[in-house]
Amino acid sequence: MTGEQREPREQHDPGGPTDPQGEAEPTIGVAFDATRGRYEITVDGMLAGFASTTLVDGVHVFDHTVVDPAFQGRGLAGILVDRAIGDVVGRGGRFTATCSYVVRWLERHHQYDTALVPGT
C-alpha cells in the first residue's frame, strides 16, 4: 500500500468440525501483508490467493485478485474480497475497485456500499 503502514490483521474461519463425509473442514485465513500491499487468503496455512490494493488519495483501490488454480471452485475469491473490504471498512476506510472480479462481486453484494467510492 502506498503511504500507509499498518499491522497485518488476520482473520480465521475454522469451519465446522466436520463435513458430511466426516472429514475436518479446512481452516481459511485472510490477512493483510503490508510489505506486498495485498490481502492473502490461506487454506490450512497454504497461500491460495490474494487481492492487491493500493492507497490513492486516501482511497483503497482493489486492482487485482488471483486464486491459485489448485484452489479454484471453492468460493475463496468471494471470501477473500468480502473479508478484505470488510477489513478496510472496519478501519473506517473507503475503497473502490478496478479489478473486474471485485467490480462484479460488488454488483451482487451491497453491504459495503456506504464506503464505496464510485467511478475510479
Q: What is the pLDDT of residues 51-97, one digit of tens each?
A: 999 999 999 999 999 999 999 999 999 999 999 999 999 999 999 99
* CA–CA distance, 64 with 87 (Å, rounded to integer): 17
| Integer Cα distance of 98 and 70 in angstroms | 25
Q: How far is CA 94 from CA 8, 24, 120, in A?
A: 18, 37, 12
Domains of the chain in sequence order: 10-115 (3.40.630.30)
- Nearest Cα residue to 67 out of 42, 91, 89: 42
Mean pLDDT over 8-33 rounds to 69
Tens of pLDDT, residue by residue over 95-120, are 999 999 999 999 999 999 999 998 75
Supply the pLDDT for residue 19: 55
Q: 37 and 61 in contact (C-beta within 8 Å)?
A: no
Residue 104: count of CB within 10 angstroms of its CB: 12
Q: 3-class SS at 89?
A: helix
Q: Which amino acid is at 6?
A: R
Q: Is the pLDDT of residue 3 over 90?
A: no
pTM of the model: 0.81
